[in-house]
Amino acid sequence: METLTLVFSAVTAFLGAGFLTAGTLGLLRFGDQRSRLHALAKADTLGLGFVVVALLPWVGSIGGAAKLVLVWLLALAAASVSAHLLVAKERDVAD
Amino acid sequence: MSQTEASPIVWALAAGVLLAAVFSLYAHRRLAGVVGFLVLGALLSAYWGIIGAPDVALAEAAIGTGVTSALLIQTVAVLRGPEAPIPFGRIVLGVVGGASLGLVLGVAMVGTAAEGPGPLLTEDVDANLHATGVTHPVTAVLLNFRSFDTLLEIVVLLAAAGIALGMTGKPTGSGPVRRSGILPGFVQLVSPAVLLLGAWLLVAGSSRPGGAFQSGAVLAATLILLHAAGVRRLTATVVLRVLLSAGLAAFVVVAVGGWVTGEPWLWLRGDAAGGITLALETVLSLSIGTTLALLYLSLTTTEEPGS
Amino acid sequence: MTVGEVTVLLGALLAGLGLVRLLTVDGAVERLIALNVTGSGVLLVLVGLSIRGESPDPVPQALALTGIVITVAVTGVGLLLARRAGEDEQ
């Protein structure tokens, strides 16, 4: 049981790292700002989510697991708001 | 932590900190340097956490990275100056020179320190911890054993607030307070939770990492967010000035209180010590929060010519 | 190398890099960033020396905390002065 959890965590953590790397690659290689924002907001948040899932079995309590998920939700919200702000600034829109 | 061998994670974080530092120091554009500084702060907080200094990690994340980066970005966004990229030769010279200086100092310190831990105050702190009313050693040191240092630190903050008040001009900003829109909506949604986190950090400081400074920084972050999103504008009102000086006033009261009861001044022991410490921390947290927010506010205003 | 030694070495490196940059650059923002990096390096050395015993020594950690707060106060006032000085030139 223990090794199964370890394998699960390792696989999901690697998946998360893969998505984070993909997001960074997109940030560096995409042509215009909006594609780069897609890469940042989506791929990075998904990668973080996979890392959180990898850590969940090891937390030991429901409260701790809920806190990790809340952290991920907050990162998702912050990434979305930041991406929106960057596009809005580019388009010079009020909000 | 004792004599544990550094794990690969510690090495990786240390390498990350070093790279981020070099990048933020020698970036081609000012804004890139500031963002690199933010990354440096985040990695440094993680490093503090993993080597067993959680209070410093919290303070570095909230104050050293959060508030400082907000102040830096607010300046860089407005300051217009020459931004010539640094020639590569100068970068190499600077990095090599700095790294050699650092290596010489570091190896010298590590070499002499290998002879043993040297004098540590851990036992003295642990022996007297029970009389202070708090159970977390760092908080006891900050607000009890070495409270004189903290008192002077509050004076420094008050001096900075005074300078900032003196240099706050007319407010700039995007006009009337906006209440709709994604950023103000998000900030309005998140601010109560952030304030709650700050309050929790304040109370948690008595028994675990936390305390007045981290909680004050979280309060400052909330005020900065509210101001920057246009939800509620900060102004230099009388209430603000009262809050700024309340921390020092409360600290002096506590200090003199020790002297009045016949003990040395700043003496804080006994049954009521825990409650007094928490009350003092609350007032301190308000002062620290408003001081840091005021520093940000004064950077967003412009001095009108002739005013 | 133990964790404490790595921390002290890292702190010395950061302090050296920051100091050289601080002494060789002109702009206020660059200097303040270098000052912050130097300060962080010094605090790393301080805390690195405090974690060598069985349990960490809390006094240098409290001093490091104080140092961080003072650094932000200096940075804030420095940026304010730089802002005003820059405005006068325009």
Question: What pLDDT, on a 0 to 100 scale, did the predictor assign at position B180?
Answer: 59
Of B180, B183, B190, which has the smallest distance from its Cβ to A85's Cβ? B183
pTM given for the model: 0.90
Round to whole Å and give the CA distance between C32 and A55: 38
Question: What pLDDT, on a 0 to 100 scale, did the predictor assign at position B254?
Answer: 87
Tell me the nearest-neighbour CA distance from C31 into chain B, angstroms. 9
Question: What pLDDT, on a 0 to 100 scale, did the predictor assign at position C50?
Answer: 85
Question: What pLDDT, on a 0 to 100 scale, did the predictor assign at position B218?
Answer: 94
User: Which letter does DSSP use for residue A56 in this model?
Assistant: G
Mean predicted confidence (pLDDT) in A14-38 = 90
Of B214, B244, B283, which is closest to residue B67 (Cα–Cα)? Answer: B214
Cβ C77–B163 below 8 Å, yes or no? yes
Of B179, B9, B25, which is closest to residue C21 (Cα–Cα)? Answer: B25
Q: Which residues of B touch C19 (CB under 8 A)?
A: 98, 101
Cβ B186–A81 below 8 Å, yes or no? yes
Q: What are phi and psi of A92, to 5 degrees?
A: 55, 50
Question: What pLDDT, on a 0 to 100 scale, did the predictor assign at position B305?
Answer: 42
DSSP chain B: -TTPBPPHHHHHHHHHHHHHHHHHHH-SSHHHHHHHHHHHHHHHHHHHHHTT-HHHHHHIIIIIIIIHHHHHHHHHTT-----PPPPHHHHHHHHHHHHHHHHHHHHHHHHHHTT------HHHHHHHGGGGS---HHHHIIIIITHHHHHHHHHHHHHHHHHHHHT--EE-SSSSPP--SHHHHHHHHHHHHHHHHHHHHHHHTTTSS--HHHHHHHHHHHHHHHHHHTSS-----HHHHHHHHHHHHHHHHHHHHHHHTTS-TT---STTHHHHHHHHHHHHHHHHHHHHHHHHHHHHEE--TT-
Question: What pLDDT, on a 0 to 100 scale, did the predictor assign at position A95?
Answer: 45
Interface of B with A (CB under 8 A): 178, 180-184, 186, 190
Q: Which residues of B touch C86 (CB under 8 A)?
A: 79-81
Question: What pLDDT, on a 0 to 100 scale, did the predictor assign at position B306?
Answer: 36
**Chain B: residue whose CA lies nearest to A70:** B193
Round to whole Å and give the CA distance between C25 and C29: 10
Chain A and chain B share a number of CB contacts under 8 A equal to: 18
Q: Does the pLDDT of residue C33 top 90, yes or no?
A: yes
Cβ A81–B183 below 8 Å, yes or no? yes
Round to whole Å and give the CA distance between B116 and B41: 30
- Higher pLDDT among residues B117 and A19, named by residue: A19
Contact B241, B165 (CB under 8 A): yes
Question: What pLDDT, on a 0 to 100 scale, did the predictor assign at position C20?
Answer: 93
Round to whole Å and give the CA distance between B169 and B288: 22
Both structure tokens of C64: 């490091």
Question: What pLDDT, on a 0 to 100 scale, did the predictor assign at position C27?
Answer: 84
pLDDT in tens, B151-210: 999 999 999 999 998 887 666 554 555 555 788 889 988 999 999 999 999 999 888 898
Q: What ipTM does the predicted assembly reach?
A: 0.94
- Higher pLDDT among residues A63 and C55, named by residue: A63
At A12, the pLDDT band (50, 70, 90 cuts) reads: very high
Cβ B190–A77 below 8 Å, yes or no? yes
Q: Does the pLDDT of residue C62 top 90, yes or no?
A: yes
Contact C13, C41 (CB under 8 A): yes
Mean predicted confidence (pLDDT) in A18-45 = 89
Chain B and chain C share a number of CB contacts under 8 A equal to: 271
Tell me the nearest-neighbour CA distance from B254 into chain C, angstroms. 19
Contact B183, A81 (CB under 8 A): yes
pLDDT in tens, A65-90: 999 999 999 999 989 988 888 887 76
Tell me the nearest-neighbour CA distance from A22 into chain B, angstroms. 19
Tell me the nearest-neighbour CA distance from B110 into chain C, angstroms. 6
Q: Does the pLDDT of residue A92 top 70, yes or no?
A: no
**Chain A: residue whose CA lies nearest to B178:** A95
Q: What residue type is assigned to position C12 of the chain?
A: A
Contact C8, B106 (CB under 8 A): yes
Cβ C69–B142 below 8 Å, yes or no? no
**Chain B: residue whose CA lies nearest to C59:** B141
Question: What pLDDT, on a 0 to 100 scale, did the predictor assign at position B117?
Answer: 66
- Residue ranges in chain B whose pLDDT is less than 50: 1, 174, 305-307
